[in-house]
Structure 1
């Protein structure tokens, strides 16, 4: 029997991650149970290892609660710290249930884990073959066909901000290796009934395509694994080639949002332009766009006139253009106006989560309440030095605020009168009597 614990120890040492917190992604299936058992044994060989387990309850099965209880009991038995999260999957016509569950799973795990943690998953050779074939059918390019990497950045923006990593120590092992290991421990596992639902693409590949390949090419998974390794090497070379151009294309938009500079993009030939856009997408979303999305960005967004406001949907994000910048912003919360609220002068206050800013402090000689409103574009503010009045809409334009954020900029009112727009413009009568400070 293959000693998975030694295999895991060798993997952790080879990648120099023995000093980082390790979290096992524990679903309760045989692959993740094998990984947990191997991690427990590995800690006996490397006592300094910090091991925990995380479980995500998607609530998609009537057995989900029992699976969570099984995982918790298994961790209690092996004295492994355990945490579980319940997520709600909202069905969408644009994304498969598999993809929605994946995004939700990594999102909630990113919230749970501490900084610099490495999430371990039980993916194996057959999983790599499935991923390769699925991406082939989705017309993926070089990066996509490289499939899963042994060690990768976390596929979630928050996870990357927290310097999390995703590790797959069993990518060079077979499913049979994992089953044999768990069986030898006389340990049970759970079976997800959805694995038999052929409407899920991955299940169809696993049950209908791979057995046919195995009949003709018994070592198909090793062959695919070698090809994906070569593709990853070539993708890394391309990444190094494009990286300097990508960095040169990065700009800062409104509120220092990371954007792409359109003038710089226009200097590139199409192949390099696509590569830069892919890199931008991955940095922001953790995913790569399809060729169709890339061509829409190139033909509709980059070439658009400055006064046009095209937008292109990419998963849960939108490509948007404002002036000479391309933004990639989360769909959630766009266009949602924060609630009107009242704040007391000279006290820093928290703002609605939908706001562009997190805090506001109104330093004033008036010991009174101010009202914070949003989106009143037609209201006007008398300007200092006899410059007349400026409408809220014009002020936003002068601030280079993109249209989709204008309903999220605080407007300060005193006794029903507009006295400040954001932290920039103040009513002529309130000059030197009022200062608005906004915190990101």
Structure 2
């Protein structure tokens, strides 16, 4: 059924996502038959979602089948609250992150997705009002982070897999949670598709053909956008929107969507893309708009859009640095402060002054080298510090007196301190800012 698909891969190491259900069981036994003819390595991974009292029995079933067939099996568990919002999506994200971490270098992940799954995905995308990219559904082969995921059954129907399993007298698990039509996918599977197939017997195949057409249209669109986007992406991966005012909205939103697709996140809906265009790109010049997308934010600053990881608010945190000869660890993975000979030269505190670190300050300040006070907001702007990073920079205080924004400026004080000391900020700010995990 899938021998030709598997043979074409030069790399012959495969990890099977094995739930114990019909689809993954057929996949596992198909690979076992191929292994008898060709030199391939196969492993399996089973993830217990702990959503039912009999889930442990499913794990034992998978262990038994793998032991009989001498297949190395990885077993992992996920524990989340059953009332978790959007539980299907939450489990999917956790499941794929676990699998990714177990994949060996050059190993390919195989899943049992078939034509029925593709049709369900297509209809869920229709429900969400997706465009051609969303309606493309799943691809036969997809990059999985830096690795690869292959769905060899995508051109086969559930009925074909079941007939093969019965013919081979296979045993598999029936997941009764699939009968729960409170879940959208189950509702489509149990209530909608049977009616459509009864009326139009070729509905599944025609649905699959539509997803293929959408995939080809998306590939073609992305080909042209890939060439055009390089005129807009800047050195820091921000999107230059200065020329958007002279371009058609359709082109602008397509560029925004393609730019976000490069971030390895779940692409925002058509509605959200429109909101980015209307409410962020063309908001007031002096506004500081943002849109929150799960753990990330889209922000506009001057004539650019920025995609950043949301950081916890630390503007009200106060850290005392009592032992100045020891490093001071900063929150939010911002690194640490250390007294050494390589950093910023600062006036040394008096013995009776409390050295402390804060992350917010409002008001006018006079910095060294200037003869006039300015609002600290203007100093941030002058130093090209993005608004969302300003409350991530450690501000050094002696008692309640601001001394320095470390690495940026020192306050010019009338009563100069007699001695100096040198402080270094070993910062992970930039790397944290750009460290995007690929499966959100």
Shorter-chain TM-score tier:
0.7 to 0.9
Query: Aligned partners of 1:91 and 1:280: how far apart in 2?
Result: 34
Task: Give the aligned partner of residue 438 of structure 2.
Answer: none
1:104 aligns with 2:79: no
Q: TM-score under structure 2 normalisation?
A: 0.80
Task: Give the aligned partner of residue 198 of structure 2.
Answer: 215
1:38 aligns with 2:22: no
Do the aligned partners of residues 283 and 142 (structure 1) sit closer, same or farther apart at CA in structure 2, a change above 3 Å counting? same
Does structure 2 conserve the Cα–Cα contact (< 8 Å) formed by 1:87 and 1:108?
Answer: no
Which runs of 5 or more structure 2 residues have no equivalent in the other structure?
A: 432-440
Do the aligned partners of residues 17 and 199 (structure 1) sit closer, same or farther apart at CA in structure 2, a change above 3 Å counting? farther
Do the aligned partners of residues 76 and 401 (structure 1) sit closer, same or farther apart at CA in structure 2, a change above 3 Å counting? farther
Query: Aligned partners of 2:407 and 2:293: how far apart in 1?
Result: 32
Do the aligned partners of residues 132 and 436 (structure 1) sit closer, same or farther apart at CA in structure 2, a change above 3 Å counting? closer
Query: Aligned partners of 1:375 and 1:190: how far apart in 2?
Result: 55
Does structure 1 conserve the Cα–Cα contact (< 8 Å) formed by 2:78 and 2:94?
Answer: no
1:410 aligns with 2:389: no
1:61 to 38, 52, 56: 52
Query: Aligned partners of 2:72 and 2:271: how far apart in 1?
Result: 45
1:329 to 298, 303, 308: 308
Task: Give the aligned partner of residue 340 of structure 2.
Answer: 363
* Structure of greater relative contact order (alpha carbons < 8 Å, 6+ residues apart): 2
User: Per the alignment, in what secondary structure is the counterpart of residue 84 of structure 1?
Assistant: strand
Please report how far the alpha carbon of residue 299 of structure 1 lies from its aligned counterpart in structure 2 after TM superposition: 0.9
Does structure 1 conserve the Cα–Cα contact (< 8 Å) formed by 2:290 and 2:299?
Answer: yes
Please report how far the alpha carbon of residue 83 of structure 1 lies from its aligned counterpart in structure 2 after TM superposition: 3.9
2:427 to 418, 434, 438: 438
Please report how far the alpha carbon of residue 89 of structure 1 lies from its aligned counterpart in structure 2 after TM superposition: 5.4
Does structure 1 conserve the Cα–Cα contact (< 8 Å) formed by 2:320 and 2:355?
Answer: yes
Which runs of 5 or more structure 1 residues have no equivalent in the other structure?
A: 155-159
The structure that has the greater radius of gyration is: 2
1:130 aligns with 2:120: yes
Please report how far the alpha carbon of residue 198 of structure 1 lies from its aligned counterpart in structure 2 after TM superposition: 1.2
Query: Aligned partners of 1:117 and 1:248: how far apart in 2?
Result: 36
Task: Give the aligned partner of residue 10 of structure 1.
Answer: 4
What is the number of equivalent residue pairs in this alignment? 415
Task: Give the aligned partner of residue 146 of structure 1.
Answer: 136
Do the aligned partners of residues 119 and 401 (structure 1) sit closer, same or farther apart at CA in structure 2, a change above 3 Å counting? farther
Do the aligned partners of residues 199 and 48 (structure 1) sit closer, same or farther apart at CA in structure 2, a change above 3 Å counting? closer
Q: TM-score under structure 1 normalisation?
A: 0.80
Query: Aligned partners of 2:129 and 2:165: how far apart in 1?
Result: 37
Does structure 2 conserve the Cα–Cα contact (< 8 Å) formed by 1:89 and 1:104?
Answer: no
Query: Aligned partners of 2:305 and 2:326: how far apart in 1?
Result: 36
User: Per the alignment, in what secondary structure is the counterpart of residue 263 of structure 2?
Assistant: helix
> How much is the aligned-residue C-alpha RMSD, in angstroms?
3.6
1:25 to 6, 10, 17: 17
